[in-house]
Amino acid sequence: MRPQESIIGNSPALAEALEHLSNLAGINRPILLLGERGTGKELAAQRLHYLSPRWQAPLVKVNCAALADSLLESELFGHEPGSFTEATRMHHGRFERADGGTLFLDEIGDMPLSLQARLLRVLQERCVTPLGTNKSIPVAITLVCATHRRLKEEVARGGFREDLYYRLNGLCINLPSLRERS
């Protein structure tokens, strides 16, 4: 089964979300996928990637909730040797590995505020700066983010950056819950 065919269900809400996905697939702006756990946000990100002009380039996935904050920073941005105790060699981060393709940040609502600031800078400048260097590396990616959290409420309580929320919320797709699909 191809990724673009793997989202199942037959409801008007799902059909609308899938049509919205197809319409946004070629747009080179951050896309935010919202929905409860288990609604197929990762499958939707795959669909966006494989329907886009970048479909032959890498689709790199990161679960922001599954990695410790310090490890997440190195995984996303990379590092130079000596940038921290265990850094014995250069490590290309996920932004660099996704260059030319799509980077999927799952559970973006769990990303710490300090990394949200770095993510915002990457979105603004289209460059990434690995840990331990001042050298900026240009990256051309489509960023797809997903969360089950209500980010507007997270912004109000101070758990998510308002400027990043508005940058991501421009192109937003709500995936219906499984109970809403027949």
Q: What is the reported pTM?
A: 0.89
Say how far apart CA 132 and CA 93 lie, in whole Å.
13
Show Cβ contacts of residue 129 under 8 Å, excluding neighbours closer than 6 positions: 77, 135, 136, 137
Give the phi and the psi of residue 132 in degrees, each rounded to 5. Answer: 85, 10
pLDDT by 10-residue block (mean), the chain, 182 residues: 61 87 88 92 93 93 90 83 63 90 96 93 91 87 95 95 92 88 70
Q: Residue 84 has what pLDDT?
A: 63
Q: Of 29, 51, 42, 33, nearest to 123 (Cα)?
A: 29
SS3 call for 170: coil
Q: Residue 10 has what pLDDT?
A: 78
Residue/partner pairs of 6-11 with CB below 8 Å, 24 or more apart: 6/40, 6/43, 6/46, 6/47, 7/40, 7/43, 7/44, 7/47, 8/181, 9/176, 9/178, 9/181, 9/182, 10/181, 10/182, 11/176, 11/180, 11/181, 11/182
Q: Residue 73 has what pLDDT?
A: 85
